[in-house]
Amino acid sequence: MTIYARTNNRPSTVRAKEGILARYLVPAFGSLVLAEITLARIERYKADRLADGLCAKTINNHLTVLHAALSAAEEWEELERSPRMHWLKTAPPKDNYLSPEDCTRLLAAAPDAQTHAMILCALRTGMRRGELTALEWRDITFTTHLITVQRSIVRGILGTPKNNRIRHIPMAPDLASALDSRRGTSGLVFPRRDGTPIPEATTSKLLYRACARAGVRPIGWHVLRHTFASQLVSRGVPIRSVQILLGHSTVQVTERYAHLAPSSLYEAVRVLVAPDVPFLGNGWATPGLPEPDDRCTAPSALAKQSQDS
């Protein structure tokens, strides 16, 4: 299992998977020969972890590591057939993003200029925390207003972005101005005072401090990424374009935001029913057709959908 993890994953992912192996999978299955890791044993493992209080998503992460290792053993002809696994059902991800008003207050409450620029960069680009802390000045082209996301720091390890996807993100004017005002020629864009990357725990504290000062609920950096995506979709940006900007591996991952699409979707469907009847504002002009749901109205949809669920 360890051999597979080390040869088929990024270094930061290897560390996480080695943790799962050492703490959970090896104690549970390490004394068995591969053929003895049956579906029945795996089902008992799931029941034991649930009894320990682990959530379904965490247990599914364990099963993913185990499945990959057993599939590799089958490919290497060390196991005749890998057992079919049944992942636990998990709740769909909840919408978790800020309203435009929250964003404004959060930016105003940033404890210093660098934290303000880092929060703004997250809100305007959707970059992950590790991508922000690994961002270098050479990744920013001010003449074309482009940021190239090509590295990430996760659990203190420098590597490529998630899914190994290098992407290019245009800068909004306010972000370009904020970064240009503190432009450097080399090194990290958001470093510690000694020039080294900011640890994950420190970035969390900085954001929590800004939230407290702004009167905004405590959030993690991923919420700023969700906010970026939700604002784009609520303003009619195609899901495929949002996928590219976020660096998602498939458009299915991005479609969690699809319910925020503006009422133009209703306009598109209406033409199938009565193409000669005009679409009036947020309502249907055709008698008998339902009114659009508030969630499909932009831009006010963002504020209405920004509450914790």
Residues 30-49 as b or e (16 or more Cβ within 10 Å = b): eeeeeeebeeeebeebbeeb
Q: Residue 258 corresponds to which tokens in the numbers above?
A: 């699809």
- State the pTM of this model: 0.67
> Are residues 110 and 226 both part of a single domain?
yes
Burial of 134 (0-12, 13-18, 19+ CB in 10 A): buried
> Are residues 168 and 215 both part of a single domain?
yes
Which region among 6-20, 97-111, 122-136, 189-203 has the lowest average model confidence (pLDDT)? 6-20
Helix (H, G, I), strand (E, B) or coil at 234: helix
Question: Taking all residues of the chain, what is their mean pLDDT, rounded to a whole number?
Answer: 83
What band does 280 get if pLDDT is binned at 50, 70 and 90?
Answer: very low
Question: How many structural domains comprise the chain?
Answer: 3
Bigger pLDDT: 233 vs 4: 233
Bigger pLDDT: 119 vs 308: 119
| Residues of the domain holding 105 | 100-251
pLDDT of residue 300: 36
Is the predicted pLDDT of residue 207 greater than 60, yes or no?
yes
> Are residues 39 and 178 both part of a single domain?
no
> Are residues 123 and 228 both part of a single domain?
yes
What band does 308 get if pLDDT is binned at 50, 70 and 90?
Answer: very low
> Are residues 130 and 266 both part of a single domain?
no
Amino acid (1-letter code) at residue 61? N
> Are residues 64 and 16 both part of a single domain?
yes
**Percent of the chain with pLDDT strictly greater than 90:** 57
What band does 185 get if pLDDT is binned at 50, 70 and 90?
Answer: confident
Mean pLDDT on 46-62? 94
pLDDT of residue 262: 65
CB atoms within 10 A of CB 233: 25
**Percent of the chain with pLDDT strictly greater than 70:** 78
Per-residue pLDDT reduced to its tens digit, 151-178: 999 888 899 898 888 999 999 999 999 9
Mean pLDDT on 238-265? 83
Q: Does any domain span residue 80? A: no
Measured CA to CA, the distance from residue 76 to residue 94 in angstroms comes to 40
Q: Does any domain span residue 12? A: yes
Per-residue pLDDT reduced to its tens digit, 281-307: 444 444 443 444 433 333 333 333 333
pLDDT of residue 287: 42
> Are residues 236 and 166 both part of a single domain?
yes
> Are residues 128 and 245 both part of a single domain?
yes
Tell me the CATH number at 163: 1.10.443.10
Is the predicted pLDDT of residue 92 greater than 70, yes or no?
no
Is the predicted pLDDT of residue 268 greater than 70, yes or no?
no
In the numeric block, the tokens 């965490």 are attached to 58
pLDDT of residue 291: 43
pLDDT of residue 184: 82
pLDDT of residue 4: 60
Q: Does any domain span residue 260? A: yes
Q: Does any domain span residue 263? A: yes
Is the predicted pLDDT of residue 15 greater than 80, yes or no?
no
Measured CA to CA, the distance from residue 165 to residue 288 in angstroms comes to 47
pLDDT of residue 163: 81
> Are residues 148 and 206 both part of a single domain?
yes
Is the predicted pLDDT of residue 277 greater than 60, yes or no?
no
> Are residues 113 and 219 both part of a single domain?
yes
Bigger pLDDT: 3 vs 257: 257
Q: Residue 153 corresponds to which tokens in the numbers above?
A: 């720091």
What band does 10 get if pLDDT is binned at 50, 70 and 90?
Answer: low
Measured CA to CA, the distance from residue 103 to residue 97 in angstroms comes to 10
Is the predicted pLDDT of residue 22 greater than 90, yes or no?
no
pLDDT of residue 257: 84
Mean pLDDT on 260-265? 64
